[in-house]
Amino acid sequence: MRIVVVNNFFPPRVGGSAHMAASLAEQYAASGHEVLAITAAYDGAPADEERDGYRVVRMPAMKMPQLGLSIDFDMTFAAVRPGNWRKLFKLLDEFRPDAIHLHGQFFDLSWMAGLYARRRKLPTLLTIHTLLISDNKLYSGVFRFLDAVLVRPLLGVMKPRYVILDKLGVDYCVERYKTSDANSDYFPIAVDTGNFDKPLTKDVRAELELGDAPLIVSLGHVIPLRNRLPLIEALPSILDKHPATKVIIVGHVYHDGFLKRAEELGVKDALILTGLVPKADVPSYFAAADIVTHDLNGGCGTASLEAMLSGTATIASVTEDNYPGIELRNGENILLVPPDDSAAVAETVLGLLDDPERRAAIAKRQSAMVRANFSLDVVADEHLRTFEKLVADAAPVRS
């Protein structure tokens, strides 16, 4: 098959959807398929390159201005650049895809490629990544409005088959986009296990002069949907019993409410902010940690699953039925706390720090669970079987 993978976010940009799109593209190519990845221009990356067995084309894009708001995101838009629609359609016509895999329901490249696919009657998968939700009433209202008047109507025209990653996504898509079992598949997040089978690139504890102090790593961009506040508000209790504890925040800070709260609580000195780090260094940060916790506002994304895979005890905030078809058991193969519950975070962290043997045993079971259910080869095979069926079903229509 000739498969197009589309995502505004793509390496060298970091982030869960960027890494998942790239990993799946690489796996599709490794399985013998011809793959073209289309993304937005980013940070001087080549406009056209071959990597990992497939071609990547980066479309000219306009960067979203940062206004200093708590909701700012590092977004780029390709649809507004002159000539991009024509360039994209020509590129796709020359590639002659059999199927298109879109990532992100509110990215303009997804809309552009999705409308192309509809016009050409091409089978299309759309993976739902970030959900447009917020605890802030104003932002929540804006997000609902955008979903209702922009995203849902476009999806109604595109008519993709949806790939939904977890129960939160299922509930969201049923409510916002009226999806059903008839037009959806429930595949888990794909985790690139190969990246964690390589030698570590650095000694984080030595580099930061941490010695053997208790260490919590929280990896991923700080945004309102993952604001780190439950961890910060748990820190006074944690530091009271383990005063040497340090917390490393890895990723770009788009929402700094956690820093202000840390100042108020007098725990800011326990924080270390690294900013962005290369993908190759991520396993080193997990290896240095006693505990990893990132998704505490509801969710269990790529960073959390990678941390579990690495063999480090990882705390998340979903329900045990979060992944359809995958059995999660709190305290056995996963560590769960209610969303936005700092007291539960403190209790869980202290229990793990006080019982290293239990911590190691849970971490080992977490790693086995992720490897069995979320590994890239397993998830990619599920996608490819779906593509093959969609292409076979579409053949009479396209001919």
Q: What confidence tens digit (pLDDT) does each residue in 188-197 have?
A: 888 888 889 8
pLDDT at 70: 44
Number of other residues whose CB lies within 10 A of the CB of residue 365? 15
Assigned token pair, 349: 């962290």
Alpha carbons 269 and 153: distance in angstroms, whole number: 48
Instruction: Report helix, strand and coil shares of the chain as percent, to nearest 5.
Output: 45, 20, 35
Contact (CB, 8 A) for 24 and 9:
no
Scan for tokens 């990532």, then name that residue.
103
Q: Which of 275, 272, 267, 284 is nearest to 208 (CA)?
A: 272
156 shares its domain with 300 = no
364 shares its domain with 391 = no
pLDDT at 168: 86
pLDDT at 67: 45
Strand, coil or helix: what is 199? coil
284 shares its domain with 352 = yes
Q: Which residues of the chain are under the pLDDT cut of 70?
A: 64-75, 396-399
40 shares its domain with 79 = yes
260 shares its domain with 221 = yes
| 141: containing domain | 2-190+376-398
290 shares its domain with 238 = yes
pLDDT at 69: 43
Q: Which of 298, 196, 301 is nearest to 251 (CA)?
A: 301
283 shares its domain with 158 = no
Alpha carbons 177 and 169: distance in angstroms, whole number: 11
Total number of domains constituting the chain:
2
229 shares its domain with 89 = no
383 shares its domain with 273 = no
The sign one gets for the Cα dihedral 348, 351, 353, 356 is: negative
238 shares its domain with 129 = no
Give tens-digit pLDDT for 130-186. 888 877 788 889 889 999 999 999 999 999 999 999 888 999 999 999 999 999 999
pLDDT at 150: 93
CATH code for the domain of 338: 3.40.50.2000
* Amino acid at residue number 397: V
pLDDT at 310: 96
Contact (CB, 8 A) for 179 and 309:
no
Helical packing angle, 302-310 and 16-30, nearest 10°: 70
Alpha carbons 216 and 53: distance in angstroms, whole number: 37
317 shares its domain with 354 = yes
Alpha carbons 93 and 91: distance in angstroms, whole number: 6
369 shares its domain with 381 = no
Helix (H) or strand (E) holding 286: helix 282-288
* Amino acid at residue number 175: E
